[in-house]
Amino acid sequence: MEKNLVNESYQSEEKVIDALLAEMFLDKVLRDVHEKKLRSQIDVSLKERNKKAFLRLTKELRNI
């Protein structure tokens, strides 16, 4: 009986760790996509010589 409790506890911890790893992975992917979008928008602001947009976007990029 005691062995079953230890095994269940271990499996529960594994599930928590797996969930945390999955969340970390998704956060990283979303951050990367957001960064790529910002860099693209920064490129457009430079081509259009839009200083206001450039400053806003680069500030946002530094904060992610």
State residue 48's pLDDT score: 98
* pLDDT tens digits, 8-51: 776 788 999 999 999 999 999 999 999 999 999 999 999 999 99
Q: Where are the domains of the chain?
A: 2-62
The DSSP call for residue 59 is H
